[in-house]
Amino acid sequence: MVWKVLVINGPNMNLLGQRESELYGSLTLQDIENHLARRAKELGIEIDFFQSNHEGDLVERIHGARGYDFIIINPAAYTHTSVAIRDALLAVGRPFIEVHMTNIYAREEFRHRSYLSDIAMGQIVGLGPLSYSLALEAAYFLLKEKHGAQIHQG
């Protein structure tokens, strides 16, 4: 069985490698996607990527995620403001993991509130690009557990 995972990134994530390197490091979003694509292939997972700076585009992409088994999402700044993204995730009913490269709880007070954390399968924060890798591994194990399949160590 091949599972499909969708990785969604919100505003300003397209500027990774150019913005605030002290917080986000030097890797680009493409670098992270390339790494995830290689690991997904090893795990036998089909993976797609989407990034937008526009809330409505993110909501539309989530609406189109019904054909996916799992979502990994870094809503970026929309984490703290978007009821629309929350409602879209609830509407499609797909399990998801919320990812943040920085520790949102160690940053400005307004970043401590996530509109998604209470409906997510889990949240991985503060581990830089590794946050995405861990989310993919977690999605794989959660899907295997749900479907009672033997875990392949790729």
pLDDT in tens, 75-118: 999 998 899 999 999 999 999 999 998 888 766 686 778 999 99
Structural contact between residues 111 and 80, judged by C-beta atoms closer than 8 angstroms: yes
- How many CA atoms are closer than 13 Å to the CA of 127, on its beta-carbon side? 12
Output the CA–CA distances (angstroms, integers) from residue 74 to 1, 42, 91, 125, 147, in the order listed. Answer: 26, 23, 18, 10, 26
pLDDT at 153: 47
Residues 6+ apart with CB under 8 A from 58: 8, 10, 50, 52, 75, 78, 82, 85, 88
d(CA 90, CA 59): 11
59 or 25, higher pLDDT: 59
pLDDT at 27: 82
Residue 152 in this model has a pLDDT that exceeds 80? no
Residue 154's pLDDT band (cuts 50, 70, 90) = very low
pLDDT at 140: 97
Residue 71's pLDDT band (cuts 50, 70, 90) = very high
Q: What angle do CA 118, 131, 124 make, to 5 degrees?
A: 20
pLDDT at 15: 86
Residue 151 in this model has a pLDDT that exceeds 60? no
d(CA 24, CA 118): 25
Active-site amino acid positions: 24, 100
Our measurement of the distance from residue 77's CA atom to the centroid of its chain's CA atoms, rounded to an integer in Å, reads 13
pLDDT at 26: 65
pLDDT cut 70: percent of the chain above it: 87
38 or 22, higher pLDDT: 38
pLDDT at 20: 57
Residue 23 in this model has a pLDDT that exceeds 90? no
